[in-house]
Amino acid sequence: MTSIKEFQVTFDCASPERVARFWCEVLGYVVPPPPEGFGTWDEYNRSLPPERRDAAFACSDPSGEGPRLFFQRVPEGKVAKNRLHLDVRVGTGLVGEERVAALEAECARLVALGAQRVRLLLADEENESCLVMQDIEGNEFCLD
């Protein structure tokens, strides 16, 4: 049996392109070029039937190492805590005040992009400090 090593992470959201562009800024991801025959994504979007316009968007890691992120429009809003979330690794190898300072600096950058700070979880006997946040549509993620 072959093991699968490639995967994409899919987000349900109200505004796929807006949320995708937020995550591009968070992770340094890029929007791929539009499909062949189209000069821009807007041009491609306008070519779709009205019910499919603005329904999906994607971005990817320019190094090719990270998973592709796919954003799909859904009619319902977010009503409960995520069952899955991303940990954005900004404090790897850092401990104590140095780690918290790195988390706080990244938090400030992301708040300027529209994210919301939820709470700082300070280190305990088992875990290092992390900062819980929400993206521009309220999806939780952690600065770790």
Residue 58: pLDDT above 90? yes
Does 60 score more than 80 pLDDT?
Answer: yes
Average pLDDT over residues 34-55: 93
Which pTM value belongs to this model? 0.88
pLDDT at res. 109: 97
Q: How many CB atoms lie within 10 A of CB 102?
A: 18
Q: With cut-offs at 50, 70 and 90, classify the pLDDT of residue 14.
A: very high
Q: pLDDT tens digits, residue range 81-125?
A: 888 899 999 999 999 999 999 999 999 999 999 999 999 999 998
Flag the least confident range among 5-9, 10-14, 17-21, 132-136.
Answer: 5-9
Is pLDDT of 3 > 80? no
Report whether pLDDT(2) > 80: no
The full length of the chain comes to 144
**Distance (Å, whole) CA 1 – CA 118:** 42
Q: Is the pLDDT of residue 126 over 90?
A: no
Give per-residue burial for 57-89: e unless 16+ CB within 10 Å, then b.
bbbbeeeeeeebbbbebeeeeeeeeeeeebebe
